[in-house]
A and B are shown apart, each in its own frame.
Chain A
Amino acid sequence: MTRNPDRPKAAPMGKAASALILLLPAMGLCTVFIFIPALLAIIGSFHSFGITSQVWVPAGLSNYSRAMADPVFWVALRNNIFIVVGSIVLQVGFGTILAAILDSGLPRGTTVFRTIIFAPMVVSAVAVAVIWQVILDPNVGVLNTLIQSAGLTPPKLGWLGDPMISMWVILLIAAWQYTGFMMVLILAGLQGIPKEIHEAATLDGAKGVTAFFLITLPQIRNVLVVAILITTIGGFKAFDLIYATTLGGPANATQVLGTYVYLQAFNLGNMGYANAMSVILLLIALVLGWLQVSVSRRA
């Protein structure tokens, strides 16, 4: 029997062992900090217990049926989806536009422009929350002062106190913080496009916006998929900005799954229910991740 010359040779045992040894620390960390807690959360979701409880009482699927019947759970999920879609439009959309402007070249101030847009990214979410709380304060905040000086009327219940607009305000604050990161990510993709492609497009008569949509964007499709994936993950992970600004209020209007899980687990002592919502969130994240990887592979 002859060996197929195209089949790769099997790696020697030594190389496989080395690879395993090098992987072990990361696997260990993942096991301790991700897989075991996830497993405990799944097990906990089928029990009733509080954070200080000594005993976990089996609860079957009652925590899951409770989530299905809980209006605040659906408000939180809707808000998460709202943040994901809104962030994709604002952060990835504006990030792409800003990256295109930088890539096309500014007459001067490119570095300053890029730094200013990126700067909010390095500020912690809590600091961002505190800064915007002061800006948006209905009594002493500068935004209301500017609006009133322009002869307009700010919202009566306050930017963060009005249940109809508070979620939009959170979305805009998040966009202010993270658009710069998307800009830098997409700019790296734009700058990786070979010049010949632009030259060829120009020779063929494609210019300006047409060239951008038909030539440039397809070239950075993979970068855009990554940007959308990061934004989606961030949208479902949302917690710190909302917790620090509104605590999920007013009256659950800005509640997201992260803050609601926290409320149920640590304020109301319903750890089993909180675990069930966490598992639901995990399943959503896994489905979305699989979808996006599939789209990316097809691209």
Chain B
Amino acid sequence: MTGLKTAMRARAALAGMALASTVLPSLASAQDPVTLRMWALSGTGIEEFYAAAEESFQKTHPNVDIVLEVQDGEAYKTSLQVALVGSDGPDVFFNWSGEDAQRLIRDGLVLDLTEGATADGQFGTTLSEGWLGAFSRDGKIYGAPANAVSKYFYYNTFFFDEHGLKPPSSFGGLLQLCRDIRAIDPEIVPLPLGNSQRWKMNHYITVINERVMGNDALRADYALTAPDDQLFTNPGYATAWEKVLELQQAGCFQDAPNATTPEVSRSMFSSEVSPMIFCGTWCGGIFDSEGYTGYSMFRFPPIEGGKSDGNSNMVVPEGVQISAKTAHPKEALDWASHLVSAEVGALRAELLSAIPSDASLLDQAKVTEQFRWMAADMTSLAVQYNVIDVEVEASVANAYLDAGTEILNGTMTPQQAMESIRAAALAAKAAQ
């Protein structure tokens, strides 16, 4: 309750300051030095990006210093939760949309930005409703969406041209492509899969689920709102796992995906040992920084007999939220708005290979043709959906992650995998 009261007081202060800022210049910010602690996920170009963003922010907020702290993925999620509950947490922090953000909203650990964000000049007036929905709950805004990431198949254009290969237009075509590559050289792994941390296969099954069953059929199950006797009972779920086995049997993956790290699998592609990889939009920046630019991309193809026509893809909005315990709500909101502004959006694309929330910003950014292609493709999607381990309740996500490992190891059948996921979903629903 203490956290909620603090959040309410901070929200009231924020609303008052937002109202004042529309009438008066920020006299307070021009006078009192303020330090904002910013937490972010580690990655290529992160420090450079935030340094540049801070420099431009200080043109209008010279009294505000940003102290950046970065951590890796799993450690970041854990540390963030602990820090927000404690007394020494960040003021502003990076977060994924979906369950990661919603958990913090439910527990009153992040600031309600609705009133402040919709004031003149703030991000609520510049971003579309679709984007704002990524960090919203019950009609209120709890975060500023900055960019989105997605997944594509990257392929070695030189290898493809040399062997007369073409990007597939169907799932069957993808299987045949893997067989054709193995026929060229059985030692070549067409699609290295680095599943040692479990999430790589989760990205595959997220897309395959949608391709098989269509996005609408998944919503009630993912949200645990389907009736108990129907929860995760769609036979399409088992079919989706069978598609994973088909990829494995076609020789797409190497023998030991669960013992391969994501970094090694990425390096197998960028060092041209393997001609394809299913990787995130952020991978382009990594390949470019490693000096490998001879690649292009294609979307996960539609699956024969599936409900999806393939004009859809996994899109994970990311952004920043503000701690409910921040001592500087006005400055934190200004900083958050700045991070999703047009000026910083272009920087985000250049330095982080992140697709900004306003794709038109790419016109001003110095990015590669491949990056522009991905950004344009994401804009053209008819349907977007979040990744399973960000979308669903934690124990259901964990069951999906474990199932992926067991399917690849052959220690679970698709039916057994869905039984374990359904059991986790029923238990999670009963506990709500």
Binds B, one of A27-35, A79-87, A202-210, A266-274: A266-274
Please tell me if the beta carbons of B85 and A51 are within 8 angstroms of each other in the complex. Answer: yes
Asked whether A249 lies within 8 Å of B2 as measured between CB atoms, the reply is: no
Write out the residue numbers on chain B whose beta carbons fall within 8 Å of the beta carbon of A247: 74, 196-198
User: A267 CA to B99 CA in the complex, in Å?
Assistant: 12
Give CA–CA (A140, B271) in the complex, Å.
12
Which of these binds chain B: A116-124, A152-160, A174-182?
A152-160
Find out whether the CB atom of A161 lies under 8 angstroms from the CB atom of B2.
Answer: no
CB–CB A158/B260 < 8 A: yes
Residue of A nearest to B402 (CB): A251
- Interface readout for B288-303 with A: 1 if CB under 8 Å, 0 if not? 0000000000000000
In the complex, chain B residues whose CB is within 8 Å of the CB of A137: 259-261, 264
A95 beta carbon closer than 8 Å to chain B: no
Give Cα distance in the complex from A156 to B260, angstroms: 12
Residues of A227-270 contacting chain B, CB below 8 A: 246-247, 249-252, 263, 266-269
A249 touches B258 (CB 8 A): yes
Give B202 Cβ to nearest chain A Cβ, in Å. 13
Q: Is the CB of A149 closer than 8 A to any CB of chain B?
A: no
Q: Does A53 contact B (CB under 8 A)?
A: yes
Cβ-based interface call for B321 (8 A): no
Would you call B81 an interface residue if the criterion is a C-beta within 8 Å of the partner chain's C-beta atoms?
Answer: yes
Task: Assess the A138–B82 pair: CB atoms within 8 A.
Answer: no
Chain B residues with CB under 8 Å of A156's CB are 255-256
Residue in contact with A54 in the complex, picked from B4, B82, B189, CB distance below 8 Å? B4
Pairwise interchain contact B261-A268, C-beta atoms closer than 8 A: no
Contact indicator per residue, chain A 39-62, by CB within 8 Å of chain B (1) or not (0): 000000000001111110000000
Q: Check B258 against A158 for contact (C-beta < 8 Å).
A: yes
Q: Is the CB of A250 within 8 A of B258?
A: yes
- Tell me if B398 and A267 are in contact (CB < 8 A): yes
CB of B3 within 8 Å of the partner chain: yes
Contact code string A122-163 (vs B, CB < 8 Å = 1, else 0): 000000000001001111100000000000000111111111
Is the beta-carbon distance between A251 and B259 smaller than 8 angstroms?
A: no
Report yes or no: A161 in contact with B259, Cβ–Cβ below 8 A.
yes
**Residue numbers in A under 8 Å from B1 (CB-CB):** 54-55
Return the chain B residue nearest A133 by Cβ: B261
Please tell me which one of the listed residues B77, B104, B192, B258 contacts residue A161 in the complex, with CB atoms under 8 A apart. Answer: B258
Q: What is the size, in residues, of chain A's interface with B at 8 Å between Cβ atoms?
A: 32
Is the beta-carbon distance between B411 and A251 smaller than 8 angstroms? Answer: yes
Mark contacts of A175-199 with chain B using CB atoms, 8 A cut-off: 1 yes-contact digit, 0 otherwise: 0000000000000000000000000
CA distance in complex: A250, B198 (Å): 9
Q: Inside 8 A of A54's CB, which chain B residues have their CB?
A: 1-4, 107-108
- B3 nearest CB neighbor, chain A only: A54
Which of B77, B104, B261: most chain A Cβ within 10 A? B261
**In the assembled complex, how far is the CB of residue B412 from the closest CB belonging to chain A, in whole angstroms?**
8
Report Cα–Cα, A155/B256, bound state, in Å: 9
Convert B393-404 into 0s and 1s, putting 1 for each residue whose CB lies closer than 8 angstroms to a CB of A.
011001000100
B317 interface residue per 8 A CB criterion: no
B192 to chain A, nearest CB (A): 7
Q: A52-B107, A137-B261 are contacts. A157–B254 as well, Cβ < 8 Å?
A: no
Chain B contact surface mostly: helix
Q: Which residues of A contact B394 (CB under 8 A)?
A: 267-269
Contacts A52-B81, A52-B104, A54-B107 hold; do A139 and B268 have CB atoms under 8 A apart?
Answer: yes
Query: Which residue of the partner chain A has the closest CB to B256?
Result: A158
The reply on B406 being an interface residue by CB < 8 A is yes
> For residue B82, which residues in chain A have a CB less than 8 angstroms away from its CB?
51, 266
* Residues of chain B contacted by A55 (CB below 8 angstroms): 1
| A160 proximity list for chain B (CB < 8 A) | 196, 258-259
A268 to B259, Cβ gap below 8 A? no
How many angstroms from the CA of A86 to the CA of B258 in the assembled complex? Answer: 25
A140–B260 Cα distance when bound, in Å, is: 10
> Is A138 within 8 A of B255, CB to CB?
yes
Query: For residue B405, which residues in chain A have a CB less than 8 angstroms away from its CB?
Result: 249-251
A97, B283: Cα distance in complex, Å: 50
A104–chain B nearest beta-carbon distance, Å: 41
B81 close to A157 (CB less than 8 A): no
Contact status B196-A252, CB under 8 Å: no
Chain A contacts for B398, CB-based, 8 A? 263, 267-268
Interface flag for B349 (CB, 8 Å): no
CA distance A52 to B107 in the complex (A): 6
CB pair B103–A157 under 8 Å, yes or no, is no
B53 at the binding interface (Cβ < 8 Å): no
A212-B371 Cα distance, complex, nearest whole Å: 70
- The answer to the question of B92 belonging to the interface, with a C-beta cut-off of 8 Å to chain A, is no
User: Would you call B64 an interface residue if the criterion is a C-beta within 8 Å of the partner chain's C-beta atoms?
Assistant: no
Asked whether any CB of chain A lies closer than 8 Å to the CB of B170, the reply is: no
Q: Find out whether the CB atom of B409 lies under 8 angstroms from the CB atom of A161.
A: yes
> In this assembly, does B418 line the interface, its C-beta being within 8 Å of a C-beta of chain A?
no
> A169: shortest Cβ distance to chain B, in Å?
10
CA distance A55 to B4 in the complex (A): 11
Q: Which B-chain residue is minimally distant from A134 (CB atoms)?
A: B264
| Bound Cα distance A160, B268 (Å) | 19
**Are B192 and A251 in contact, with the CB atoms below 8 A?**
no
* Minimum distance in angstroms from A207 CB to a CB of chain B: 48
User: CB-CB < 8 A to A53: which residues of B?
Assistant: 107
Partner of B402, one of A51, A140, A246, A252: A252
> A159: nearest residue on chain B (CB-CB)?
B259
- Asked if B354 is an interface residue, CB under 8 A from chain A, the answer is no
Q: Which residues of B contact A50 (CB under 8 A)?
A: 103, 107
Collect the chain B residues with CB atoms within 8 Å of residue A140's CB: 264, 267-268
Contacts of B38 in A (CB 8 A): none
Would B109 and A52 count as touching, CB distance under 8 A?
yes
B257 on the interface (CB 8 Å rule)?
Answer: yes
Q: Measured between C-beta atoms, what is the minimum distance from B394 to chain A in Å?
A: 5
Closest to A136 in B: B259
CA distance A163 to B402 in the complex (A): 12
Q: A247-B74, A266-B81 are in contact. List 9 more A-B contacts (CB 8 A).
A: A54-B2, A133-B261, A137-B259, A137-B260, A138-B254, A156-B255, A250-B409, A251-B405, A269-B103
List 5 A–B pairs whose Cβ atoms lie within 8 Å, in order of A's numbering: A54-B1, A138-B254, A139-B256, A247-B198, A249-B198
Instruction: Spell out A's residues near B (CB within 8 Å).
Output: 50-55, 133, 136-140, 155-163, 246-247, 249-252, 263, 266-269
Q: Nearest 4 pairs between A and B by C-beta?
A: A158-B259, A161-B259, A158-B256, A161-B258
